[in-house]
Amino acid sequence: MSEHEAPHPALALDETTHQRVRLAILAVLAEATECTFAALRDQLELTDGNLSRHLRVLEEAGLVELRKTFAERRPRTYLRLTRAGRAALRAQLDAMEQLVHRLRDRTDD
């Protein structure tokens, strides 16, 4: 790589958002104003524990917000993407698009 060449687009992939399950969580939440924990779990075919672990990472990074309520005396958790979460998802998609664009011509044989 020359001194003036831009860094490889793969370096722009963020470890927090690029992980498959976390990227899927962000994608689902980007499509809705709000989503219940149960609906997200079922849509992504995850266990409660697995989803909780990934949500904790995203929440600590400020990318998702959790709101806990009760419905018919049962706890219910609602999730939504934060403004930072939308920006992080957009940055991740941009990085992936740049990577795909760079590699598309080189891998088509």
Residue 2 resides in a domain: no
Give 26-59 pLDDT, tens digit per residue. 999 999 999 999 999 999 999 999 999 999 999 9
Query: CA nearest 7: which of 104, 95, 97?
Result: 95
Mean pLDDT (whole number) for 64-80: 92
Confidence class for position 71, pLDDT limits 50, 70, 90: confident
Helix (H) or strand (E) holding 70, with range, is strand 64-71
Give 74-103 pLDDT, tens digit per residue. 889 999 999 999 999 999 999 999 999 888
Residue 69 resides in a domain: yes
Residue 24 resides in a domain: yes
Confidence class for position 4, pLDDT limits 50, 70, 90: low
The reported pTM is 0.86
Q: Which range of residues forms the domain containing residue 98?
A: 11-103
Residue 61 resides in a domain: yes
Residue 86 resides in a domain: yes
Query: CA nearest 77: which of 103, 56, 60?
Result: 56
**Number of domains, the chain:** 1
Residue 1 resides in a domain: no
Residue 5 resides in a domain: no
The CATH number covering residue 28 comes to: 1.10.10.10
- Residue that the structure tokens 């927090």 belong to: 16
Does the pLDDT value for residue 1 go beyond 60? Answer: no
* pLDDT score of 12: 87
Residue 18 resides in a domain: yes
Say what the alpha-carbon torsion angle 97, 26, 58, 100 is, to the nearest 10 degrees: -10
